[in-house]
Amino acid sequence: MSHRLESLSKFLSLVLRHRPEEIGLTLDEHGWTEIDSLVALANSRGTPLTRDLVLEIAATSDKKRFTISPDENRIRANQGHSIAVNLNLSSQEPPHELFHGTATRFARSIRENGLLPGSRQHVHLSLNAITASEVGARHGKPLVLAVRALDMHRDGFEFLLSDNAVWLTSAVPPRYLEFPDQT
């Protein structure tokens, strides 16, 4: 993805996941908005955006952060919202183990409190340690934690699977976490 598209993708993440009011955008209860409205509002606030660029970003994003409606008239973020939206994801049985990437500086707090969603609606979990490490590296020296997801599920915790294959749960208590030996 080019630098320009990456910058616009970050803009879309901001307005579709965190601050739609920044450009006067309205999301429905499921996080959807009309692409034409998004484009018009972005342009009126100084962010040059076209319908074709929105479709290209959604199609080429390596993280698959966005979903376009079948009629190509609406867009929404797949997960990561800090605003209340109902993505209509159904509860699913997770695999035995999932992974969470963070920075080593958070290890002590996580050992005490587990994984909490912070400003987001859910804790995000990956299917593999490589992806989790990439996520953790965005926040500092990466720390990859293994999560005993199936044990959690059997103990009554709900897991959701987003459209871009990110597993979501409300929190992960410390007893379900496995830390690498060096932390």
The residues, any chain, with a CB within 8 Å of residue 107's CB and separated by 6 or more, are 143, 179, 183
71 & 112 share domain: no
- Average of pLDDT values for 140-165? 95
How far is the C-alpha of 165 from the C-alpha of 156, rounded, in Å? 21
Question: Is residue 63 classed exposed, middle or buried when 0-12, 13-18 and 19+ CB atoms within 10 A define those classes?
Answer: middle
Q: Is the confidence at residue 144, as pLDDT, over 80?
A: yes
Q: Looking at per-residue confidence, does 183 or 111 come out higher? A: 111
10 & 70 share domain: yes
User: Which domain range does residue 120 map to?
Assistant: 98-178
103 & 170 share domain: yes
29 & 58 share domain: yes
Q: Is the confidence at residue 2, as pLDDT, over 90?
A: no
Predicted local confidence at residue 182, as pLDDT: 60
Inter-residue contact 168 to 89 (CB < 8 Å): yes
Domain-located, residue 89 = no
Inter-residue contact 94 to 159 (CB < 8 Å): yes
CATH of the domain at 114: 3.20.170.30
What tens digit of pLDDT does each residue of 51-86 get? Answer: 999 999 999 987 788 999 999 999 999 888 889 888
Predicted local confidence at residue 183, as pLDDT: 53
Coil, strand, or helix at residue 61? coil
DSSP state of 95: P
Mean model confidence pLDDT for the chain: 93
Share of the chain above pLDDT 70, in %: 98
- Residue 106 φ/ψ region, left for φ over 0, alpha for ψ in the -120 to 50 degree band, beta for the rest: alpha
Share of the chain above pLDDT 90, in %: 79
72 & 104 share domain: no
- Average of pLDDT values for 120-140? 93
Number of domain units in the chain: 2
Inter-residue contact 126 to 135 (CB < 8 Å): yes
Q: Which pair of structure tokens corresponds to residue 52?
A: 């074709």
Q: Which pair of structure tokens corresponds to residue 144?
A: 């990859």
71 & 128 share domain: no
